[in-house]
Amino acid sequence: MHLLPRLATLSLLLLGTGCMTAPQRPAAPQVEDPYLWLEDVHGAKPLEWVEQRNAETKQAFASTPEFERTRSRILEVLDSDAKIPAVTKIGDRYYNFWKDKDHPRGLWRRTTLQQYRKDKPRWETVIDLDALAKAEDKHWVWQGAFCLRPANRRCLVALSPGGGDANVVREFDLVDRTFVKGGFELAEAKSDVAWIDKDRIYVATDFGPGTMTKSSYPRIVKEWKRGTPLAAATLVYEGKDDDLAISASRDLTPGFERDFVTRAIDFYTSETFVRRKDGKLVKLEVPPDATVDAHREWLLVQLRDAWTLDGTTYPQGALLAAKFDDFLANQDKAGKRKLVVLFKPTDTTSLSAYSWTRNHLILNILDDVVSRLEVLTPRTGEWRREKLGGAPALSTIEAHGIDADAGDAYFLSVSGFLAPTTLYYGALGNADAAPLKHAPSFFDAKGMDAHQYFATSKDGTRVPYFVVARKDLKADGSTPTLLYGYGGFEVSLTPVYSGSVGRSWLERGGAFAVANIRGGGEYGPRWHEAALKANRPRAYEDFAAVAEDLVNRGITSRRHLGAEGGSNGGLLMGNMLTGYPQLFGAIVCEVPLLDMKRYTHLSAGASWIAEYGDPDKPEEWAFIKTFSPYQNLAAGKDYPPVLFYTATSDDRVGPVQARKMAARMREFGYSNAWFYENTEGGHGAAADNQQSAFMHALAYGFLWQQLAPKEAP
């Protein structure tokens, strides 16, 4: 089990959801901002402004037959019954959450492995979210279920009204397929819950004034006994107001039950404590920026920075192993702490992820952003190491254990920009994995190819990127090209198949590019740290270098080059707009951070100070202001057309930064600045497939209209 907080919100800025307005950090003195009124998320006047902007944008880009064709074809992809249903094993069944045209809110359903092997498995519905939403008159959005092992009968189900990170929690019976009357239940909040046993849970939630951090997450975790009021729950740990979040959990592995408390200090540093039976907390003495994981008798430590211990220096990005009980007993005794290096990065490799089976550890490794797998088997001294599977060129191959309590079975998936996912099933130590399911092809990839190139950034850094385009592409700069990027929070962008991109962009003759810029995790912690805080502009220089390289290769030109990114990638887009407008013909900026002066006072913004810095400190605002698009916006510039889209229910980044940026651009007379705000969907900006299809079609339609060569009259 991973010992970082299990808050879904801490996966942060890729995809997520939101509905409640989060507790706000006390406001600091502000320079004059005429659009502070737009920060009233649900206020009548701001929503009237939103409605007006939405109507303008829909009229301009969502009222044509071509838009409807694109939207319906994307919806076909999202609603397709032929997609591979992702499953999680709970007990002896395989569970899946599924959305389609008949179930827009979704079904939580289950089947057997025997059935899952079939082209059309027979599924048993566990929770029909559409029926529940109708019965309770709530716009429920699924947030997951956490079940009590090993019995796997009772689960804690999280549901968000509208898609936000804040959710309600209810106890559910998997046998009866009903919510437990009088069971554990939490009101809407950003909560973190975990089973202790059938009658006790750990709960970190909003217990009232002063119990949430400045980042809007729980500051207090308690032990709650069945049949008692929440107010009677026993305090386990209380963090500080400036902490990111507090949580607790129990490793439920039979024979290795352990309790943990985690204090997340900021996004990258934390303290992990073992909670003994008497309630005493014993801190694990590892670097605060390392992540720790327990599996049976083993402790794994993954390093973000180098660690010198007992005269040995372990490198940044390494994965280390120790016997858990031995390490805990000897952690204060020099020379007694025995660590084995399981992974050591090179200049081109990083550890993307790892996963346990009962007896083995699977490493997912990136080598110049291309995947490979290794299987490690514990033993005294150096662990046995073997390769697992083989990946086609420029593809993503991932493997993970299915049930580490039960055995060594694993799923392995292989996909690429032009190759739909194939899912394999195998058991380590037995025969190789065999194909289990094949995802359908949603677009005609004949005549297309994918390539990896490297651009040179301003400071000489080699920056990889991928391009997917037609083989017969003319190197005359005329191809409409969409460049996607993120560049933050150590998130890696790897080759993936997208039916939506294929149908909306590639089939129309466009090229699609993905930039692996600094700030991401493609080369491990060093690649991420190279763009932290004062170094954030390195990410923007990298993205600009990729854009210039696309033009220099003749793939496209400024007139035909567009850029897209969301959340932290929306901040990237804001900086492309204000800092590098000469490079792009159009930009789509999704659920973005843009006002870096006030971001820590909006929604969950305070939780990202470790990434960007604290604008309330003058010495840090001095560098933050260099990459704050809202403050750097100016009149009279040659900005490309831009579309901002966001969601009212986003309680992570929030909608107000996009609102204010669009309003400021309109004030400056930029008629090519467009805005759209969905009401639901949280940080993902869509609560169901219909909404997702609309938002994607809006973005692709806007970009194609701006970037495609104009036909002669």
Backbone angles phi, psi at 397, to 5 degrees: -120, 125
> How far lies 547's CA from each of 81, 552, 556, in Å?
37, 9, 9
Stated as kind and residue range, the H or E segment containing 100 is strand 93-100
Calculate helix-pair angle for 537-552, 568-579, nearest 10 degrees. 70
C-alpha to C-alpha distance for 618 and 582, rounded to whole angstroms: 31
Q: Which residues contact 209 (CB under 8 A, 6 or more apart)?
A: none
Catalytic, 649? Answer no
Q: How do 384-387 and 178-179 pair as beta strands?
A: unpaired
Tell me which of 457, 683, 692, 696 is the catalytic residue.
683
Query: 557: how many CB neighbours lie within 10 A of its CB?
Result: 16
Residues 567, 607, 649, 692: which is the catalytic one?
Answer: 567
Identify whether 360 is a catalytic site residue: no
C-beta of residue 168 within 8 angstroms of C-beta of residue 161: yes
Give 504's DSSP letter.
I
DSSP string, 327-388: HHHHTTSTT----EEEE---SSEEEEEEEE-SS-EEEEEEETTEEEEEEEE--SSSPEEEE-
Q: Which residues contact 34 (CB under 8 A, 6 or more apart)?
A: 667
Give backbone dihedrals phi and psi of 459, rounded to 5 degrees, phi first: -95, 10
Tell me the CB-side half-sphere exposure of residue 271, using CA atoms within 13 A: 14
Tell me if the bond preceding 150 is cis, omega within 30° of 0: yes
Cβ 8 vs Cβ 18: under 8 Å:
no
Separation of alpha carbons 616 and 597, rounded Å: 8
Q: Which long-range contacts (CB under 8 A, 24 or more apart) does 251-255 make?
A: 251/1, 251/294, 252/148, 252/149, 252/150, 252/195, 253/1, 253/149, 253/295, 253/296, 253/404, 253/405, 254/150, 254/405, 255/296
What distance in Å separates the CA atoms of residue 188 and residue 426, rounded to the nearest whole number? 40
Tokens representing 474?
Answer: 């003319």
3-state secondary structure 628-670: CHHHHCCCCCCCCCEEEEEECCCCCCCCHHHHHHHHHHHHCCC
- Give the 3-state secondary structure of residue 524: coil
Torsion, Cα of 406, 320, 384, 523 (10° steps): 100
Question: Which of these, 271, 262, 193, 263, lies nearest to 233 by C-alpha position?
Answer: 193
Report the distance separating Cα 636 and Cα 326, nearest Å.
66
Q: Which residues are catalytic?
A: 567, 683
